[in-house]
Structure 1
Amino acid sequence: MKNSTKGGKTLSRLLFVLSFFSAVAQAKPSGTLSETVRVSGLVEKPFTISTTSVGTMNVAERENTAIICDSGQTRKSLKSFRGVLLRDILDSAKVVLSNPGQRGEYYVLVRSTDNYNVLFSYNELTYGTAGESTWLVFEENGKPIDDDGRFVVFCASDRATGPRHVKWVNGIEVSKIILPVSN
């Protein structure tokens, strides 16, 4: 009788431990937390943005923004957010255009630790309306971002803001499209 009771307690403990770790695994965020965003690529001044250094940049606060998926469903409502325009970050890094006449061939890749990466054209960020509303966000609703990493990027002027809503941001890279040589 002692052995079956002892075995039952062991089994109960094992089931508890397994259910605990299963719950932890399910609650685990999809990305790895990064405290920094590396700005690199075709820039004169590569640099790293941290949770402390971002406050020294040209920070703005905006209100009443929603993350809307392409089906029209609201995924997240923000009463407010604080962030830095992606265009201002690129200006600080000083994008190197070897031939300004080819500026349409440059792009900005926003990378994340969960590999949900998004592309922006250099022209849309520099000369278009997206440049006035694409943000590297570090605070939502008066609090530092935690559940989606430390930094998030989205374009508030997109009709559907969800497809270019990047969580877990850890890199901003400037590159140029390599076009095939024409005959």
Structure 2
Amino acid sequence: MKAKYILMLMFFWGTFTTFGQNTTTIHIAGKVEHELTLTLDDLKTLPVVSGKNFKVISTSGDIRKEFKTYQGVLLTNILDKAQIKVNNPKEKGKLIVLVKATDNYTTAFSYHELFNNPTGEQVLVLFEIDNRPIAKDGPFLLISATDKITGARHVKWLSEIQVVEL
């Protein structure tokens, strides 16, 4: 009984200590040649993309947030820096990119969705909204600007990017 209580406590402690935790880095791992831990300064060495008028839309169709302007980098540029491992081009269809927040909220993109589709040109890791560093939702967040329901893949407190094979 005591062991069960300790395990439950460890589970809840881990859950609550990561929720909303401020992270100043993004860790990239999995099927990559170079596992990376990137800071804001590291991200700014990649080509910066700017955009205007982004709306976070919930599954009910409500507008949850609006960004007049934003700046960030393409997720594909981060993945190119880490160099995804692919032994055979036919394996690309089995690759999934998982994007995870500090509270374990996770969203996924297929390799082909990011690299062979216009969607990939609008999946961004943001570090600035409305001409200010992101504060409330963590220093980094991810958006997929071409999604109809943008809130489903709006990842606040972005902390980890994992490349996995199905």
TM range (shorter): 0.7 to 0.9
* CA distance in 2: counterparts of 1:99 and 1:55, whole angstroms: 32
Equivalent residue letter for 1:142: N
Give runs of aligned pairs for residues 122-137 of structure 1, distance below 5 A. 122-137=111-126
Equivalent residue letter for 2:145: A
* CA distance in 1: counterparts of 2:47 and 2:61, whole angstroms: 32
* CA distance in 1: counterparts of 2:89 and 2:20, whole angstroms: 36
Give runs of aligned pairs for residues 67-106 of structure 1, distance below 5 A. 67-106=56-95
Equivalent residue letter for 1:143: R
Partner of 2:105: 116
Partner of 2:54: 65
Provide, for residues 72-131 of structure 1, a one-character-per-residue CA deviation record: whole Å limited to 9, x for no partner: 100110000000010111111111112211211100010110111111111100101210
TM-score between the two structures when normalised by the length of structure 2: 0.86
Partner of 2:5: none
* CA distance in 2: counterparts of 1:47 and 1:173, whole angstroms: 11
Return 5+ residue gaps in structure 1 as ranges. 1-28, 178-183
TM-score between the two structures when normalised by the length of structure 1: 0.79
* CA distance in 2: counterparts of 1:157 and 1:88, whole angstroms: 18
* CA distance in 2: counterparts of 1:70 and 1:167, whole angstroms: 17
Return 5+ residue gaps in structure 2 as ranges. 1-17
Structure exhibiting the larger radius of gyration computed from Cα positions = 1
Q: How many residue pairs end up in the alignment? A: 149
* CA distance in 2: counterparts of 1:135 and 1:71, whole angstroms: 23
Give runs of aligned pairs for residues 25-40 of structure 1, distance below 5 A. 30-40=19-29
* CA distance in 2: counterparts of 1:30 and 1:173, whole angstroms: 19
* CA distance in 1: counterparts of 2:44 and 2:23, whole angstroms: 17
4+ runs of 1 displaced by more than 6 Å? none
Aligned-residue CA RMSD (Å): 1.3
> Identity percentage over the alignment?
39
Deviation at 1:30, TM superposition (A): 4.7
